[in-house]
Amino acid sequence: MPSVKEQEANEDEIRRWRIPPPLLRDADSPGPEGLSILEEIRSEVGVILWKSLRSVLLWAEFEPDERKGLFDSDAPQRRRQEIERSIPAAKADLKGDLTALIPAVERPDEADGDALAAACGRIATWAESSGTPLTALEFLQAASLCAPRNARLALEIGYAVRELGQPARAESWFQRALGLARQVKDWEPYVLAYLAHGRMMMERGAYPAARQSYIKAVRRAGRQNMRNMEVEVLHDLFLLESRAGNTGRALSSAREALDVLTPDDDRVPEMARDMGIFWFQTGQFQHGFSVLREAARRVQGDERGRTLGALARAAGQVGDRDAFDWARKELDRWWDGPGAPEAWADVARGATALDLKQVAKEAAARAESGAQARDGDAGELAADLLLDTIKTELKALEAVEAQAQLLDTEQQRPHDELVQRVLSTLGDRSGG
Amino acid sequence: MKPAPRPLVVLHPDRLLRDRLQRVARRRFHLTTVDDWDDLREVVAEAPPAAVIVVDPYHGQEDSDEPSPQLKSVLKSYPSATVVAALETPPERYRDLWTMGDWGIAEILQVDEDVSSEAIRKRLLSARSQQLRQLLTHDYGVPLTGRARALLDAAVDTVMAGGHPRDLARELDFSPSTLLRWCQRSQLPNPRRLLLWMRVLFASALLDDPGHSVYTVGVACGYSGDQALRRAIRSVVPYTPSELREKGAFETVSRAFFDEVAGLRDDHAEKR
């Protein structure tokens, strides 16, 4: 039992932070509340889901002492009969979960919000597995409104909405998640919500706001000893500072990430890859190349294509034909996944730097056809446009390289030290 | 500013529902009951702008169990009206429910479930804000943060209820100073100006409907008449209501609003 003082401190904490209202709907899709369910499930089952959702949302909108008499007294019995009649016996779990929502209608002033939230959550899981994401989202939102202190649910909704391509709505849920997490001191969703918010701000080009979110996330992750999350945020912070052109801050974030990472951590190769790209883009081609060469041997999965492309480009720039050929062949042999068109564009860049005109042409054609197949439009990866752009890029890289060569020994030292450290961390991994 | 009751036109045979709507209407709505689709058209055509229409979608469909095509026609004829379908919703009606949503109704009143005043009020109030919210989602190249979008939505609701900055703060459960801080952080105009913009945007949406006079639009938006509306419009864009009509009122005013928001944008701000 908390003391009066603790209780007051707790209440004070709750009062202090105002939580933004979440965006429950996409304003661009108006119409009756919850009707997206019937867009996905055009059947009697859909109507029962729709009605159940609306009852729960109505229930959640009112304070407990305002809920009495909210629904027609015959409504619970009618709902039971409809569930019995319309939900097939094969969907016994769904039947049970829909029945578990009836207390909101039957005894609105006594119904337990957590129990309703749990049933809504299970229905959302069922909907997700049935390939009806909008229905899943509706019930997740309802769950969050029934259990309004649950930060993890709010975070989950933010992710789901982001998947649907509604950034503002997703952001409102991330803001809510971190506000709730702060209130109840649930630090994992707090860090994850700041991380998600930081990423959205970075994509939008709002770097100071992104930095602020990352810093809050990394501080809290450090304080709570959440090493995994700390690394993830530091990696993002490094990418942010690289993009913003803050070399000193980027190096410092990378160093901090390496402090936390153990050599066998799965994220080491990807971190190394991004550091290699950073050195390449800042005109330190040899540093970039040596790190990318080691990283490319170790990065697997979806990120492998991008890494091989980056290596091909760097190898072209430093004139290492063997490494270029290896990267190109690996890409050809292994890779046909996400990022393939961009990777082939990088091969075209490397080939142009090596003056391999035919190879550059072929790689650009593969970039174009890949982008065409993926996006329906090659855009910037149209072969002719790409080859023209590459010539301009090469000139720009010469200027960046000239700038990098002006660094004096003192300025160069942190780069050299970090390169050694990355290479040695990669080398220390089990199996090299 | 005074809250102007919006016309609530009801075409529904259910006496109990009409009584419930009457109770809910009070100062928010001015209720008129009609007996058939022709009467409905006549009343809506003559009513002040931004009417809310509650209909039985099956009215006059003695030979068919599908929603009346008259409903579809009303939705098309009165784009500035908000149409709510009031019906029982047994599971077998799944096709009808979806069809009516597809036609563009704003909300459904489940007459077998939404029986309390609170439930009916909620459905009507959420329906009446939808149109302006949707109009404001047009992409003017000014991406709004989630927080800004939430404030904008709440501001729309406040204007629809004839509210002031303090009402907006109350709706969000904020103190006035927190609301001001949030507007700044979200890179939106201050609360007073934000509500002024929303009110003028609402008026401009109504001005785009040629059936409404400037005076009735002004009154519908809570102004004392056309002069007050002119002054309000002048404080945000350099046009008269007639000039706005010629240019496309909502398009012109919303572009000006988002230009002002773009001017407040600060990519260097640390708090968003």
Cβ distance of B91 and A47 shorter than 8 Å: yes
pLDDT at A107: 94
Predicted local confidence at residue B81, as pLDDT: 84
Residue B162 identity (one-letter amino acid): G
What integer pLDDT is reported at residue B1 of this predicted model?
A: 63
pLDDT of residue A344: 95
Hey, what CATH topology would domain A261-427 get?
1.25.40
Q: Residues 6 or more apart from A382 whose CB is under 8 A from it?
A: A368, A371
Amino acid type, A314: A
Report the residue of A19, A33, A203 to disrupt the B interface, i.e. the one with the largest count of B CBs within 10 Å.
A33
**Domain-by-domain residue ranges, chain A?**
32-147, 261-427
Q: Which of B101, B107, B119 sits opposite A58 (nearest CB)?
A: B119
Task: Tell me whether residues A23 and B150 touch, CB distance under 8 A.
Answer: yes
Residue A82 Cα, gap to closest chain B Cα (Å): 7
Contact B272 A51 (CB under 8 A): no
Which of chain B's residues have a Cβ under 8 Å away from the Cβ of A209? 269-272
Question: How far is B265 from A413, CA to CA, in rounded Å?
Answer: 39
Q: Tell me if A46 and B94 make a contact (CB, 8 A cut-off).
A: yes
Residues of B in contact with A81 (CB under 8 A): none
Per residue in A404-416, is it b (16+ CB within 10 Å) or e — as a string? beebeeeeeeebe
Interface mutation target, options B75, B83, B118, B271, chain A, most CBs of A under 10 Å? B118
pLDDT tens, per residue, chain A with 432 residues? 555 555 555 554 444 567 878 898 887 777 899 999 999 999 999 999 999 999 999 999 999 999 998 998 999 999 999 999 999 988 999 999 999 999 999 999 999 999 999 999 999 999 999 999 999 999 999 999 999 989 999 999 999 999 888 888 999 999 999 999 999 999 999 999 999 999 998 988 889 989 999 999 999 999 999 999 999 999 999 999 999 999 999 999 999 999 999 888 989 999 999 999 999 999 999 999 999 999 999 998 889 999 999 999 999 999 999 999 999 999 998 767 888 999 999 999 999 999 999 999 999 999 999 999 888 888 889 998 999 999 889 888 888 888 888 888 888 888 999 999 999 999 887 655
- For residue B92, what is the nearest residue in chain A, using CA coordinates? A44
Torsion angle, alpha carbons of B229, B233, B238, B241, to 10: -50
Amino acid, single-letter form, for residue A46: G
CA distance A129 to chain B (A): 22
Q: What is the pLDDT of residue A14?
A: 47
Residue B137 Cα, gap to closest chain A Cα (Å): 6
pLDDT confidence of residue B5: 80
Domains of chain B in start order, with CATH, are 6-130 (3.40.50.2300), 136-264 (1.10.10.60)
| Residue among A20, A74, A204 whose CB faces B150 most closely | A20
Opening angle at CA A272, ends A267 and A276, nearest 5: 150
Residue numbers in B near A40 (CB within 8 A): none
Q: Which of B25, B31, B58, B56 is nearest to B43 (CA)?
A: B31
Å from B226 to nearest chain A CA?
Answer: 30
Q: Which two tokens stand for residue A219?
A: 């501080």
Contact criterion met (CB < 8 Å) for A208 and B115:
no
**In sequence order, which residues have a C-beta less than 8 Å from that of residue A425 and are 6 or more positions away?**
A258, A261, A263, A268, A272
Q: pLDDT tens, position by position, for chain B (272 residues)?
A: 666 788 899 999 999 999 999 999 887 889 999 999 999 999 988 887 788 999 999 999 877 789 999 999 999 888 778 999 999 999 999 999 999 999 999 999 999 889 999 999 999 988 988 888 888 887 777 888 888 999 999 999 999 888 899 999 998 888 999 999 999 999 999 999 999 999 999 999 999 988 889 999 998 888 988 999 999 999 999 999 999 999 999 999 999 999 999 999 887 776 76
Check residue B58 and give its pLDDT: 95
**Exposure string (b/e) for B258-270, b if CB count within 10 Å is 16 or more?**
bebbeeeeeeebe
Interacting residues of A236 by C-beta distance below 8 A, sequence separation 6+? A195, A198, A199, A202, A214
The answer to whether the CB atoms of B89 and A72 lie below 8 A apart is no
